[in-house]
Amino acid sequence: MSSSQDKEKTTSTSPKSIRVKEATGKKEGAPKENTKASSKEIQKTPTEDRRRREKGKSKHAGSVQLERRRTLLAEKERKGEKKGEKKEGEKGKEAELQEVVRELRELLTEHERETERRITVVSDCLSEKAEENVQLYEEKDALSRDLRLMKEEKEKLQKDKDQLTKDLKYLEEQKSSLSHELDQANSKAEIKERDLLDCQRRLENLGQCMIETASENEELREELRKTKEQLASGPSSSSSSSSQRQQKQSQWGLFKQKFRSNEEQPRAYTELLQQLAISETKQGEAQKMADDLEKDNRQLKFELQQSHKKEEQLKNEKFELTEAVSALEESNEEYEIRIVKTQQRLKDSLKKENKRRKEAEGSVSSLRKKVDELQFLLDELEGEDDDEDDDDDDDDDDDDDSDED
């Protein structure tokens, strides 16, 4: 209802309708003036018949002319009203179209702003994700570099461990050889000690024999001196001489035996002395050999202790290396787990980024489609406005031509 009232107001107040009304008013007023003029002319006629005829003719002609004018004016009013209504409808449509165009332009600007805002947000998100991806790739590279260094260090430690195991085996072999040599040296020392004890026992026996021979020599010398004294004193009697002779013979036999034994004694004594010297030299050599063996034994014990110490040190180093290798393996596993996690994070972030990019591209494409549709509608509306303006200009030209007629 309000739109129809507004249309009526606009039609009543439009300048074209005002011009039409003025034209119709002028044309309506024209027959009245003609009637007045005709009545005056009739009054001026001399006769009444003439006046009546002229009056009837004038009335008939005026009525015909009035009817024509009225029909023309009615047609023009109808045309003017139609044109006014048409123009007012066109103006209302034009206003509505302008309002729609304005709203469409506002929507278009809002959509453009929204698309620009979304594009900026998406570009910011993409730049942030790109920076995060760069940081994650740098972390991954650093972790892979650390892992490579740790693998190299692990290989180096493994080589050191292998070398230490080789050294430990060599030391164990050396230890076994030294222990074997020590056993041999101990056995040789025991043999030398036994020989030394045998030499000492033989020397003691020789000393005892020498002491016994010395005592026997003293006894023989004493008996020899006594016999010499008896021979020097002479025979005392015949009876005693025979007995003494027998005694002398027996003593002489004993003396000969003892003398023979005394003659043999220096030879045995010298042999004993020679054997004693040989045994002493052998004893010295045995003592020297025993000292050398003792020295070698001490050296071997010292080397054995050093080998034990080195073995303990190598065992400690091996234990430390095994601990270091186990720690490296654990850290290697941790680094591998971290690398797997970072790779998973990278994959997830890339998937999210691709998803967001696709969503952003989809939203941008949809917004572009909407913008294209709105632009197409706007172009159509502008084309319709131009066509309506052309139609209005044609109608105005037709009205002007009819008014001139």
Tens-digit pLDDT string for the chain (405 aa): 434 444 444 444 444 444 434 444 443 444 444 444 444 444 444 455 666 666 556 556 656 666 776 777 777 777 766 666 666 766 776 777 777 777 777 877 887 788 788 778 877 877 887 787 788 878 878 878 887 887 888 788 788 778 877 877 887 787 777 778 778 777 877 887 787 777 677 777 766 777 777 777 677 777 767 776 766 665 444 444 455 555 555 555 554 554 444 445 556 556 666 766 776 777 677 677 777 777 877 787 787 788 778 778 877 877 887 787 777 777 777 777 877 887 787 778 778 877 877 887 777 778 778 777 877 877 777 777 666 666 666 655 555 555 555
Q: How many residues does the chain have?
A: 405
Distances in Å between the Cα of 25 and the Cα atoms of 47, 221, 317, 389 are: 36, 211, 128, 29
Closest by alpha carbon to 258, among 217, 210, 215?
Answer: 217
Q: At what angle do helices 238-404 and 48-233 cross, to 10 degrees?
A: 180
**For the chain, domain boundaries:** 144-216+260-352
Q: How far does the chain reach from its first CA to its final CA, in angstroms?
A: 38
Question: How far apart are the C-alpha atoms of 274 and 262, rounded to whole Å?
Answer: 18
Instruction: Report which DSSP code applies to 14.
Output: S
- Residue pair 399/79 in contact by the 8 Å Cβ criterion: yes
Q: How far is CA 113 from the centre of its chain?
A: 41
Question: How far apart are the C-alpha atoms of 238 and 374, rounded to whole Å?
Answer: 192
Question: How far apart are the C-alpha atoms of 375 and 109, rounded to whole Å?
Answer: 11
What is the per-residue pLDDT for 48?
A: 59
Core vs surface per residue 184-203: b (16+ CB within 10 A) or e? ebeebbeebeebbeebeeee
- Residue pair 157/331 in contact by the 8 Å Cβ criterion: no
* Whether pTM exceeds 0.75: no
- Residue pair 279/195 in contact by the 8 Å Cβ criterion: no
Q: How far is CA 81 from the centre of its chain?
A: 85
Nearest-Å Rg of the Cα atoms of the chain is 79
Contacts of 224 (CB under 8 A, 6+ apart): 255
What is the per-residue pLDDT for 42?
A: 43
Amino acid at 275: Q
- Residue pair 84/392 in contact by the 8 Å Cβ criterion: no
Closest by alpha carbon to 291, among 192, 153, 173, 215?
Answer: 192
What CATH number does the domain located at 144-216+260-352 have?
1.10.287
Question: How far apart are the C-alpha atoms of 89 and 6, rounded to whole Å?
Answer: 10
Question: How far apart are the C-alpha atoms of 271 and 254, rounded to whole Å?
Answer: 25
